[in-house]
Amino acid sequence: MYENKRLGFLFVLPFVLGVLLFKLFPFVMSFALSFTQYDLIDPPKYVGLDNYRELATADPLFRKSLGVTLLFAALAVPLRVGFALFIAHVLNFRLRGINFFRAAFYLPSILGGSIAVAVLWRFIFAKNGLVNLIMVQLGLEPIAWLADEHYSMWTIVLLFTWQFGSAMVIFLAALQNVPVSLYEAAECDGASKLQQFWSITVPLITPVIFFNLIMQMVHAFQEFNGPYMITEGGPLSSTYVLALYIYDQSFRFFNLGYGAALSWVLFALVGGLSAISFWSSKYWVFYAGEKEQRK
Partner 1 sequence: MSGGDMHGPSRGDAGRPWLRYLALGLVALVMLYPLIWLVGASFKSNSEIFTEVGFWPQRFDFGAYAKGWKTSTEYTFATYFLNSFLITIPRIIVTVISCVLVAYAFARFEFWGKKILFSVMVGTMMLPLIVLRLPQYLVFRELGWLDSYLPLIVPSAFATDTFFIFMLVQFLKGIPRDMEEAAQIDGCNALQLLWHIIVPLLKPAIVSVIVFQFIWTMNDFMGPLIYLASVEKYPVSLALKMSIGATEEVEWANVIAISVVALIPSVAVFFAAQRHFIEGATSSGVKG
* Bridging pattern class, strands 36-37 and 45-46: antiparallel
3-state SS track over 150-193 = CCHHHHHHHHHHHCCHHHHHHHHHHHCCCCHHHHHHHHHCCCCH
Residues 6+ positions from 257 with CB-CB distance below 8 Å: 33, 34, 35, 36, 37, 38, 44, 47, 51
Our CB check for partner 1 shows the closer of 192 and 199 to be 192
Q: Least distance in Å: CB of 286 to partner 1?
A: 11
Q: Least distance in Å: CB of 58 to partner 1?
A: 22
Our CB check for partner 1 shows the closer of 148 and 290 to be 290
Compute the distance between CA of residue 86 and CA of residue 50 in angstroms, rounded to an integer: 47
Our CB check for partner 1 shows the closer of 21 and 56 to be 21
What are residue 55's phi and psi, to 5 degrees?
-70, -25
Q: Describe the chain by its helix, strand, coil percentages, rounded to 5.
A: 70, 0, 25
Q: Least distance in Å: CB of 176 to partner 1?
A: 8
Compute the distance between CA of residue 94 and CA of residue 80 in angstroms, rounded to an integer: 24
Q: Least distance in Å: CB of 73 to partner 1?
A: 12
Our CB check for partner 1 shows the closer of 4 and 57 to be 4
Q: Least distance in Å: CB of 172 to partner 1?
A: 6
Compute the distance between CA of residue 204 and CA of residue 176 in angstroms, rounded to an integer: 11
Compute the distance between CA of residue 10 and CA of residue 13 in angstroms, rounded to an integer: 5
Our CB check for partner 1 shows the closer of 105 and 152 to be 105
Our CB check for partner 1 shows the closer of 148 and 187 to be 187
Q: 252-271 in b/e burial notation, b at 16+ Cβ within 10 A?
A: eeebbbbbbbbbbbbeebbe
Q: Least distance in Å: CB of 255 to partner 1?
A: 11
Our CB check for partner 1 shows the closer of 108 and 234 to be 108
Residue type, 120: L
Q: Least distance in Å: CB of 60 to partner 1?
A: 22
